Amino acid sequence: MSDVCPECGGVLKFEPSRKRYICQSCGLSLSREEIDEIRYKDQKLNEEDEKERVRKEYLKWWATKK
- Using CB under 5 A, list all residues that contact Zn ion: 5, 7-8, 10, 23, 25-26, 28
Q: How far is the CB of 13 from Zn ion (least distance, A)?
A: 11
Closest CB to Zn ion among 24 and 43? 24
Q: How far is the CB of 37 from Zn ion (least distance, A)?
A: 16
Instruction: From residue 42, give the alpha-carbon distance in Å to each of 6, 16, 17, 30, 60.
Output: 9, 26, 28, 16, 27
Report how far residue 50's alpha carbon sits from residue 26's, in angstroms, rounded to the nearest whole number.
30
Closest CB to Zn ion among 37 and 57? 37
